[in-house]
Amino acid sequence: MQIDWFTLFAQIVNFLIVVVLLRRFLYKPILQAMAEREAKIAAQFEEAEAKTREAEEEAERYRAQRAELDEEIDALMAEATAKAAERRKAMVAEAREEVESMQDRWYAAIEHEKQLFLHRIRQRLGQQVFHIAKSALKDLADAELEGEIVDVFIQQLDAQEIEASTAPAHSSEPDETPIIVRSAFELDAPTRQRIKQAIQSRVMHDRSDGNAPNTVEVAFEQTPDLICGIETQFENRRIAWNLNDYLTRFEEELSTALTTELHVEERAHLYEQEAAANGILPG
Amino acid sequence: MQISPDETIYWQSGFIVINATLVFTWVAMILLIGGSWLITRNLSTGRSITVRQSMLESIVSMIQRQIEEVMLSNARPFLAFIGSLFLFIATLNLLSIFPGYRSPTGSLSTTSALAVCVFVVVPIYGIRAQGVGQYLRQYLQPTFFMLPFNIFGELSRTLAMAVRLFGNIMSGEMIIAILLTLVPLFFPVVMQLFGLLIGMIQAYIFAVLAAVYIASAMSDAQLSNED
């Protein structure tokens, strides 16, 4: 158990060689490789983190954009709804107005037709009544209707006497204008004379206070409007006989009947209109 | 019976003696350095690494971790010396698994050589860390009268290192040799396995003690500055 000095020295040298060579071939490259790999891994982690951050930012941006778009869509929808409602209201109002104007026109037309119809009825009826009466009188009593009418008219002129005594004299001034007698038919000369005399006696009688004229001017006019009648006006009095009064009454009754009928029709029409409006425009 | 491989002499010329200790040391050196060179020739820094590279990285990082645990400082400046001590002794011991091989650590010359290396390196690190004056002042701590004891302690611990390693390895080999004559089957195999374990432990102890001595030679402040 001795120490061999040469061996000891050689082993020291050997160990130093081992230290130097291991340092060169083992520790240095291994540590370097490890450091490099660590750096690489760190870089990769960093890169991954950066990418994650980027992706998150991108996602956030997309979310914001989508929210913005949603808001825009909502706004557009609201605007469109409001516009549609407004437009609907306007269209409904327009339609109502149109319907009302159509209704007015229709009513006006109906009224016009009614008036026209009544007028024609009146004319035709008067003529017919006149002809019937004329024929009937001729056949039954061999009398002229015109003559009978004139007779009734003269009688009325005489009958006014009683009324005149009670009626106030509206005008005391003598009237120089001729008294006009209107008739629906042509009056022959003898008839005219009779009427003239009757009027004159009438006037003379009325002006018995002394300022009565000696002669009365009488003018004759023919107007088909009177419908089978005759009339005159003087001293604020109107003396007449014609079918007008009868026809007026008849017309009134007919008009009432027509109006009632129209009201029924109108109600039915309104009901239909309302139903149509409810069907097309609910609520 | 040969106690030390020094006694097996292959060639001799004057004072130059080529004995089994040196030959087996060279074999171990070639294996250690050649293996390292082969593996580290093309290291990968990419995603996939070879098993060998992974093994070397594990060993190096393990040594580094152990040094850091013992010295409480950055292991980098001491890795080459302490790591080489461990790897060198471990390789010398592990090769004894091959028949006919005699571990050079069973020679007091080898263990003394390693202990001398530690004995020389410790003051180098100490002086480099805190300067000559400060380092030499350590021998006067806590009082001037402790100087001889400190010097003696330095020498005796170097001797202890050398003898401890030599004694353990040599005794293990002796036991196996004796057992082979008494119980030739099975039992020597178990003892051989024990021998391998002891070899590894001794390598670890030698390296750790060297680390401790270096650490004690450097002041605490210097050690913390190394971080």
Number of domains in chain A: 1
Helix (H, G, I), strand (E, B) or coil at A173: coil
Contact B84 A12 (CB under 8 A): no
Q: What is the pLDDT of residues A211-270, one digit of tens each?
A: 666 677 888 888 877 767 788 877 777 787 777 777 777 778 877 887 777 677 777 777
Q: What is the pLDDT of residue A147?
A: 80
In a domain? residue A132:
no
Decide if B53 contacts B44 (C-beta within 8 A): yes
Contact B6 A18 (CB under 8 A): no
Nearest to A241 by CA among A164, A152, A148: A152
DSSP letters along A176-189, please?
-SPEEEEESSPPPH
In a domain? residue A48:
no
Residues of chain B with C-beta less than 8 angstroms from the C-beta of A41: none
In angstroms, the separation between the Cα of residue B222 and the nearest Cα of chain A is 24
Residues of chain A with C-beta less than 8 angstroms from the C-beta of B84: 15, 18-19, 22-23
In a domain? residue A276:
no
Nearest to B28 by CA among B80, B93, B106, B83: B93
What's the mean per-residue pLDDT of chain B? 89
Per-residue confidence band for B42, with pLDDT thresholds at 50, 70 and 90: confident
Choose the closest CB to A1 out of B3, B25, B37: B3
Q: What is the pLDDT of residue A166?
A: 47
In a domain? residue A189:
yes
* Residue A190 lies in domain: 144-242
Which of B15-24, B149-158, B172-181 is least confident?
B172-181
* Residue B199 lies in domain: 5-225
Contact B56 A26 (CB under 8 A): yes
Q: ipTM value of the model?
A: 0.92
Among B residues 21-60, those touching chain A with beta carbons less than 8 Å apart:
21-22, 25-26, 29, 32-33, 36-37, 40, 43-46, 49, 53, 56-57, 60
Tokens representing B215 are: 């650490």
Number of domains in chain B: 1
Among B residues 161-200, those touching chain A with beta carbons less than 8 Å apart:
none
In angstroms, the separation between the Cα of residue B182 and the nearest Cα of chain A is 24
Decide if A18 contacts B29 (C-beta within 8 A): yes
Closest residue of chain B to A6, computed from CA coordinates? B16
Touching check for A45 and chain B: CB below 8 Å? Answer: no
